[in-house]
Amino acid sequence: MRTTRKVAALAALGLTLAACSSEAGSQAEESASSAPTAAEDVDFPEGSTMAELNEAGAITIGTKYDQPGFGLLNPQSGAPEGFDVEIAKIVAAELGIPEDGITWTETVSANREPFIQNGQVDMVVATYTINDARKQVVDFAGPYYVAGQDIMVAEGNPEGIEGPEDLAGKTVCSVEGSTPAQRIRDEYPEANLVTYDVYSKCADDLRNGGVQAVTTDNVILTGLVAGSDGAFELVGNPFTEEPYGIGMELGDTDFRNFVNDVLEESFEDGRWADAWDRTAGAITGEEAPEPPSVDRY
Ligand code: GLU
């Protein structure tokens, strides 16, 4: 017995009909055409996570809510927006789940593993670096992007910070449970590390002079610089590799293979680059890079 649904295909049709009848037709058409390509016909092995999610027509996804370009809550719609969000929507569509079947949950850096382990989310797409310590407790599909740790400073770089070595004796902010915070602790102990639960609080501290620098992935910092009205600048000297994966329950190899297949398809057929152009790329003004190679470890 196999399950077959056409939920997402019908949802896409609904969007098209809405576009025809809506006064703001052109706007609705635009969002219809930029929606992830829905799976026409989805057929999953019975008992698989894919079949369960498909039958429920619903998925709970963890993402960030304060990172412009990757995951930023739109207070009007109540839903997050960004590259991570678009990647998650592509996976949901391939599961036959329409956008209104997605329940978004804010996952901050420190609660991603527990939220996956407790089953509070079905997957996490949240600037989530794949690494060996995390692989002990969760599985990762991907990577679907490779960022690098960098440093953000006040406009004009008054402290002359050009790289992590220059953080010695300075106050630098990052987020608890993140790889950048851990790297500062492990490799740059001369820096005075301040941590919060989210990066927007670090940005607030940099603005009011409470810290002299903020460190995390370059793409997150780029979004914060873009929203700072010229108050911040990026040092632009990335010193690590942060491969972003989609986190999921440990041991669900079928689901991981499925998500890896979806990512590879989206790299090939242009949906990945299109998602980039409409989100992070619109902030940086940079074209979509070459997608990374998926690591089926
Ligand atoms: N990519 C890094 C991590 O997963 C930093 C970004 C974040 O905290 O989400 O920890």
Which structure tokens are listed for 67? 């990172």
Please give the share of the chain, as a percent, with pLDDT higher than 70: 86
Closest C-alpha residue for ligand 1 atom 6: 127
Please tell me whether the peptide bond between 243 and the residue prior to it is cis, using omega within 30 degrees of 0.
no
Residue 273 has pLDDT above 70, yes or no: yes
**Residue 40 CA, ligand 1 centroid: distance in Å:** 34
Closest CA to 281 of 269, 291, 294: 291
Residues 36 and 110 in one domain: yes
- Four-residue CA torsion sign, 13, 17, 20, 22: negative
- CB neighbour list of residue 183: distance below 8 Å, 6 or more residues apart: 149, 164, 240
Residues 153 and 265 in one domain: no
pLDDT score recorded for residue 43: 85
Please give the share of the chain, as a percent, with pLDDT higher than 90: 85
**Strand 171-175 to strand 71-74: parallel, antiparallel, or no bridges (unpaired)?**
unpaired
Mean pLDDT rounded to a whole number for the chain: 90
pLDDT score recorded for residue 181: 98
pLDDT score recorded for residue 42: 75
Q: Which atom of ligand 1 is nearest to the CA of 174?
A: 8
The domain total for the chain is 2
HSE, CB side, 13 Å, CA atoms: give it for residue 133: 7
Q: What is the pLDDT of residues 206-216, one digit of tens each?
A: 999 999 999 99
Q: What is the pLDDT of residues 76-98, one digit of tens each?
A: 999 999 999 999 999 999 999 99
Beta strands, E only, the chain: 2-5, 42-45, 59-63, 66-67, 71-74, 79-81, 102-106, 123-124, 138-147, 149-154, 171-175, 192-196, 213-217, 232-234, 242-249
Q: Which atom of ligand 1 is nearest to the CA of 242?
A: 1
Q: What is the pLDDT of residues 17-56, one digit of tens each?
A: 444 333 333 434 444 444 445 555 578 999 999 999 999 9
Residues 119 and 213 in one domain: no
Residues 230 and 113 in one domain: no
Asked whether residue 141 is domain-assigned, the answer is no
pLDDT score recorded for residue 16: 41
Residues 114 and 189 in one domain: no
Closest CA to 245 of 108, 134, 80, 89: 134
Confirm whether pTM is higher than 0.75: yes
**CATH number, domain with residue 88:** 3.40.190.10
Residues 111 and 166 in one domain: no
Question: Domain containing 132: what range?
Answer: 2-136+244-284
Residues 111 and 7 in one domain: yes
Q: Which atom of ligand 1 is nearest to the CA of 127?
A: 9
